[in-house]
Amino acid sequence: MNDYMAPKLDEAAIGAISAAGLAHVGDAVLELMVRTWLCQQGKATSGGLHRASVQYVNAAAQAAAMDKLLPELTEEENQLYHRGRNAHTHAAPKGVSPGQYARATGMEALFGGLYLAGKRARVNELFALMMEGSHAL
């Protein structure tokens, strides 16, 4: 039986997933991690939790966080990031530059690829670095 909460795909399987597919998974991973972090910070109401999570899980915030993470990436992680960043995405959402949207998509692909590879410790390290200095809103 597959363990969908703790996948461990090999490099070939991850390589067969589109950049959009990796970003799709990474978006969910980041959302869950941010929601968990917020709950641990004392945000317990659903309305407050949602409003606060949107401040961290949006293209502009993810692009800024990615700028912080880039110097810390391994070569393999950099390749995952670039796959997502260079993916042909639709127009950026209102209020976000195409560059920010591309960096955010790259970040989601990075987190998605690491999660699917079973590298949860590294996902946690990068998330902790991303949230360093942040306070629950």
Sign for the CA dihedral angle at 66, 69, 73, 77 comes to negative
Identify the domain containing residue 124 by its residue range: 17-131
Exactly one of 3, 10, 27, 67 is catalytic; name it. Answer: 27
Give the containing element (helix H, strand E) for 133. none
Tell me what pLDDT residue 51 has: 85
CA distances from 6 to 9, 48, 73, 95 (A): 10, 29, 22, 35
On whether residue 86 sits in a domain, the answer given is: yes
The answer to whether 105 touches 84, Cβ cutoff 8 Å, is yes
How large is the angle between the packed helices 120-131 and 59-69, nearest 10 degrees? 100
Predicted confidence band of residue 123 (pLDDT cuts 50, 70, 90): very high
Model confidence pLDDT, tens digit, residues 59-93: 999 999 999 999 999 999 999 999 999 987 777 77
On whether residue 23 sits in a domain, the answer given is: yes
Tell me what pLDDT residue 136 has: 59
On whether residue 3 sits in a domain, the answer given is: no
Predicted TM-score of the model (pTM): 0.92
On whether residue 109 sits in a domain, the answer given is: yes
On whether residue 7 sits in a domain, the answer given is: no
Question: How far apart are alpha carbons 90 and 105 in whole angstroms?
Answer: 11
On whether residue 5 sits in a domain, the answer given is: no
Catalytic-residue membership of 27? yes
What CATH number corresponds to the domain at position 23?
1.10.1520.10
Question: How far apart are alpha carbons 116 and 23 in whole angstroms?
Answer: 11
Give the chain's end-to-end CA distance (angstroms, integer).
40
Model confidence pLDDT, tens digit, residues 3-37: 899 999 999 999 999 999 999 999 999 999 999 99
Tell me what pLDDT residue 30 has: 97
Task: Tally the domains of the chain.
Answer: 1
The answer to whether 96 touches 12, Cβ cutoff 8 Å, is no
On whether residue 119 sits in a domain, the answer given is: yes
On whether residue 6 sits in a domain, the answer given is: no
The answer to whether 56 touches 133, Cβ cutoff 8 Å, is no
